[in-house]
Structure 1
Amino acid sequence: MTRPLLTVAASLVAVLLPLPVLATAALREPMPAPGSASPAGTAVSARPPARAAAPWVWPTGDRVVERPWEAPDGDYGAGHRGIDVPAALGTPVVAVDDGVVAFAGSVAGRGIVTIDHGGGLVSTLDSVVPSVPKDQPVAQGDVVGTVAVGHCPSTSPCLHLGARVDDRYVDPTPYLPAAAWPVLLPDDAWPG
């Protein structure tokens, strides 16, 4: 009875052990540079590779994520189609990369700026007072608006950054330099 269990366990280890290595190798695939089209016959994944060839900049300068991406259950399912970056009301918001303003206005009472970066890649800045018109070319780092009340409560304002590739929502964090994730220490780590 023990021998069949050992055989099953050994088989599982042999199959599962290489998976993290294979997954890590897949994440190292280079991403098409913003503005370049994907090669003919290849589909763009709903989850982009780990880092873009030319990373975006953080739209408020802070590398902090208050609420991360949560993949939606489906096209219209629950999820969080972007990340929330904490920012004070009135904080300048910049274009994450070069592109053309595809939309600047209000949707459901919230200010939105959407920038088309080419090659099917689009960024959306939610809860802003836009300072740029539609069809205006922008360079990475250009101010496109200021943080406004909307996506997050006014007691804890934030900027919502979304990304789409070929009209599919994707996690924007792989396009950004690494976040400064907060480290929570246990209560007994504090003096006093």
Structure 2
Amino acid sequence: MRVAVALTLAAAIAVQGGGAAAADRLLVLADWTWPTSPPIRVLAPFRAPATPYAAGHRGVDLRASPGEPVAAPADGVVSFVGMVAGRPVVSIDHGDGLVSSLEPVEAIAAEGENVRAGDRLGSVGSGGHCEDRCVHLGVRLDGEYVSPMRYLGGVPWAVLLPR
């Protein structure tokens, strides 16, 4: 069912002029999973900034407790494990310009490690803007932040209608 939905959406993008590259990137939808345990609760949604340096929320905050396992949202290669602004971060390069980052995560995964969707990356650590109550998941496509919900199935793709 998930693959059928992804293929249908890919065809819709191709028809709208998104081309094969956009359709290929959409197929990743079938392989994404939530990085935290159910029940999934979004505490803060993605809010796109007006400009690259403006205020916004460049990801989603998912309810989580300290020590709770954190999993890879999709297949890829761990591209960064370390501290950023006083909080532990794990980033995964999913290929084709797509990178996810999770924080705060006390990593057990190592840089250069191949991971599959659902593989344990570590556990909820401390630090960040939602201390001891969430994990922040950010996603960048070609360096631009996009809503992680696009890949987790929570945001419908725009359909352009004729005038």
The TM-score, its normalising length taken from structure 2, stands at 0.76
The yes-or-no answer on 1:30 pairing with 2:10 is yes
Tell me which residue corresponds to 1:190: none
Count of equivalent residues: 140
CA distance in 2, matches of 1:147, 1:141: 15
In structure 2, which of residues 141, 150, 153 is the aligned counterpart of residue 174 of structure 1? 150
Tell me which residue corresponds to 2:36: 60
* CA displacement at 1:133 relative to structure 2: 1.1
SS in 2 for 1:30: helix
Structure 2, unpaired ranges of 5+: 1-7, 14-18, 156-163
In structure 1, which of residues 76, 90, 99 is the aligned counterpart of residue 53 of structure 2? 76
The yes-or-no answer on 1:133 pairing with 2:110 is yes
The yes-or-no answer on 1:150 pairing with 2:127 is yes
SS in 2 for 1:174: helix
User: Could you give the per-residue CA deviations for residues 40-60 of structure 1, whole angstroms, max 9, x where no partner exists?
Assistant: 7x7xxxxx97x8541411101
CA distance in 2, matches of 1:97, 1:151: 23
The yes-or-no answer on 1:86 pairing with 2:63 is yes
Contact 1:88–1:158, Cα closer than 8 Å, also in 2: yes
User: Could you give the per-residue CA deviations for residues 93-139 of structure 1, whole angstroms, max 9, x where no partner exists?
Assistant: 00001100010111111000000001111111011111111111111
User: Could you give the per-residue CA deviations for residues 58-88 of structure 1, whole angstroms, max 9, x where no partner exists?
Assistant: 1012321000000012111100000000100
Structure 1, unpaired ranges of 5+: 1-27, 33-37, 43-47, 180-192
Q: Percent identity?
A: 43
SS in 2 for 1:74: coil
CA distance in 2, matches of 1:153, 1:75: 22
In structure 2, which of residues 70, 73, 76 is the aligned counterpart of residue 96 of structure 1? 73
CA distance in 1, matches of 2:154, 2:42: 10
Larger radius of gyration: 1
Spell out structure 1 runs of 4+ moving beyond 6 A: none
* CA displacement at 1:151 relative to structure 2: 2.2
Which has a greater percent of strand? 2
* CA displacement at 1:178 relative to structure 2: 4.5
